[in-house]
Amino acid sequence: MVESSRILLVTGSSGLIGSEVVKYFCSLGWFVYGVDNNQREVFFGPKASTRQNQKYLEEMFPTFTHIEVDIRDRKSIFELYQNLRPNAVVHTAAQPSHDRAAAIPFDDFETNAVGTLNLLEAHKSSCKDSPFVHLSTNKVYGDKPNIIPRIETSTRYDYDDQKYLLGIDESFSIDQSKHSIFGASKLAADILVQEYGRYFGIPTCCLRGGCLTGPAHAGVELHGFLSYIVKCGAEGTMYNVYGYKGKQVRDNIHSRDVVSFISHFIHKPRVAEVYNIGGGKDNSISILEVIEKIEALTCRSFLYEYVDKNRAGDHIVYYSNLAKCCSHYPDWGITFGIDDILLEIYEAHLQTL
């Protein structure tokens, strides 16, 4: 058994949130073990590879250890837990694409749902009292947010209901709506994480993320909206806008603000909690509004084509009500505004050109 009082296990450690978790906790002196086998490249192709992130983490942080394991490999996951008995676990590994899931339903469900079950069972057996943080998704709500009355402006849709003035809260229904295959597998994982908290008393939480983003995001067309659209603007390549006149709205949260919340939860855990975590209304933005900001950054016209068909189960408007997050953890809050996020992503892309 590894001798340490502060051991963190991170799945998906080379991805956007996972890599930020590694950086943050290594900087605090934790021994961090990262599980990642670069499935993002398998799902989306070479441009989505996270190997560069992995290499950077291994070179920069001596207390970080990379482990090449697939979370679907139950035997290896149980052995890993038995060896490490971590003081906390952050589970970010997933098949993350709303669109890709329909073409690979078994890979999607076995990664998102069964992989999460493997981790939870190993966690219950080896370190039941350790916090378990699961990166869920706002897609667990399916397309039900689309029934909320809306107003339309020249650049966006928005909610036209006082109840949702600050966004969607955790009481919103997850039932009887179109989720996409991805949303269904993530919902199964979300419910499992809650149930292992309630049934076995494990300190778990599900973070139902909006658009989680940042300069480390390997954005591609099928996943990573803000990173990918900024990349297209920086490179001058064509971007496809799918439906809703380009007025669909998302809230964007910087990966470091997500990690800050994770840290707050780990240091003051609760049992079977659910949090809607995103940029909130202040960081909400439509595709048309993003395009306008990218044109200001690049000083040229943004190339895009409109496809008059929205993605199945897609939200017209979604932004998170952060009241519960801020109530439970009043020292936490959003520190990166939407303009800060866009500029940081754009400058990171310029360095790759």
User: What are 54-92's pLDDT values in tens digits?
Assistant: 999 999 999 999 999 999 999 999 999 999 999 999 999
CA atoms of 42 and 44, how far apart (whole Å): 6
Give yes or no for residue 2 having a pLDDT over 80: no
Give dist(CA 146, CA 341) in Å, integer: 27
pLDDT recorded at residue 223: 66
User: In CATH, what is the architecture of 7-350?
Assistant: 3-Layer(aba) Sandwich (3.40)
The reported pLDDT for the residue numbered 312 is 78
- With cut-offs at 50, 70 and 90, classify the pLDDT of residue 5: low
6: left (phi over 0), alpha (psi -120 to 50) or beta: beta
* CA proximity to 252, closest of 112, 138, 90: 138
Query: Residue 121, SS3?
Result: helix
Query: What is the pLDDT at residue 44?
Result: 84
* CA 291 – CA 301 distance, rounded (Å): 9
> In degrees, to the nearest 5, what angle opens at C-alpha 39 toward C-alphas 38 and 43?
135
Residue with tokens 């689309």: 146
CA distance 230 to 6: 38
Q: Is the pLDDT of residue 303 over 70?
A: yes
pTM for the complete prediction? 0.94
At 192, which amino acid appears? L
pLDDT band, residue 48 (cuts 50/70/90): confident
Which 3 state secondary structure label does DSSP give 238? coil
Q: What is the DSSP letter of 237?
A: -
